[in-house]
Amino acid sequence: MYSASVDYYRAGSVAEAVSLLQQHDGAKLLAGGHSLIPLMKLRLAEPSALIDIGHVSGMKGIEQSNGVLKIGALTPHADIASSDAVQQASPMLAEAAAMIGDPQVRNRGTIGGNVAHADPASDLPTVLTALGATFGVTGPIGERSIPAAGFFQGLMSTALAANEVLTSVEIPASASGQGSAYSKFSHPASRYAVIGAAAIVTVSGGKCTAASVVLGGLVSSPTRAALVEAALTGNALDEDTIATAAANASDDLGDDVIGDIFASAEYRRSVATVYVGRAITAAAVRAG
Distances (CA, A) of 124 to 65, 226, 235, 270: 22, 20, 28, 23
- pLDDT digit string (tens) for 111-155? 999 999 999 999 999 999 999 999 999 999 999 999 999 999 998
Q: Closest Cα to residue 213, out of 96, 127, 151?
A: 127
**E strands in the chain:** 7-10, 28-30, 49-52, 62-65, 68-72, 134-139, 142-147, 152-154, 157-158, 165-172, 178-186, 193-204, 207-216, 223-224
Contacts of residues 255-258 at CB distance under 8 Å and 24 or more positions apart, as own/partner, are 256/219, 256/220, 256/223, 257/218, 257/219, 258/120, 258/217, 258/218, 258/219, 258/220
What integer pLDDT is reported at residue 36 of this predicted model?
81
What fold characterizes domain 7-52?
3.30.43
- Is residue 110 a contact partner of residue 31, using CB atoms and an 8 Å limit? yes
Mean per-residue pLDDT, 225-237: 98
Amino acid residing at 149 = A
What integer pLDDT is reported at residue 33 of this predicted model?
79
62-65 vs 157-158, strand pairing mode: unpaired
Mean per-residue pLDDT, 167-175: 96
Widest pairwise Cα distance in the chain: 62
- pLDDT digit string (tens) for 20-41? 999 999 999 998 877 788 888 8
Band (281; pLDDT cuts 50, 70, 90): very high
Mean per-residue pLDDT, 189-198: 91
Looking at the domain that runs over 178-287, which CATH code has it been given?
A: 3.30.390.50
**E strands in 192-272:** 193-204, 207-216, 223-224
Q: What is the pTM of this model?
A: 0.94
- Is residue 184 a contact partner of residue 193, using CB atoms and an 8 Å limit? yes
What integer pLDDT is reported at residue 248 of this predicted model?
96
What integer pLDDT is reported at residue 284 of this predicted model?
97
Domain with CATH 3.30.43.10 in the chain: 7-52
208 pLDDT above the threshold of 90: yes
What integer pLDDT is reported at residue 254 of this predicted model?
86
What is the b/e burial string over 183-206, where b = at least 16 CB atoms within 10 angstroms of the residue's CB? bbbbeeeeebbbbbbbbbbbbeee
Domain with CATH 3.30.465.10 in the chain: 62-172
β-bridge mates for residue 28, sequence order: 50
Percent share of the chain, pLDDT over 90:
81
- Is residue 245 a contact partner of residue 257, using CB atoms and an 8 Å limit? no
Distance CA 196, CA 123 (A): 7
Mean pLDDT of the chain: 94
Q: Closest Cα to residue 121, out of 218, 188, 207, 197?
A: 218
196 pLDDT above the threshold of 90: yes
Band (262; pLDDT cuts 50, 70, 90): confident
What integer pLDDT is reported at residue 1 of this predicted model?
64
275 pLDDT above the threshold of 90: yes
β-bridge mates for residue 201, sequence order: 179, 211
Domain with CATH 3.30.390.50 in the chain: 178-287
Residue range 62-172 in CATH 3.10.129.10: no
Amino acid residing at 248 = N
- pLDDT digit string (tens) for 73-121? 999 999 999 999 999 999 999 999 999 998 999 999 999 999 999 999 9
Distance CA 106, CA 40 (A): 20
- Is residue 245 a contact partner of residue 199, using CB atoms and an 8 Å limit? no
- pLDDT digit string (tens) for 248-260? 999 999 888 999 8
81 CB neighbour count, 10 Å cutoff: 18
What integer pLDDT is reported at residue 191 of this predicted model?
87
- Is residue 149 a contact partner of residue 133, using CB atoms and an 8 Å limit? no
Percent share of the chain, pLDDT over 70:
99
What is the b/e burial string over 247-260, where b = at least 16 CB atoms within 10 angstroms of the residue's CB? ebbbebbeeebbee
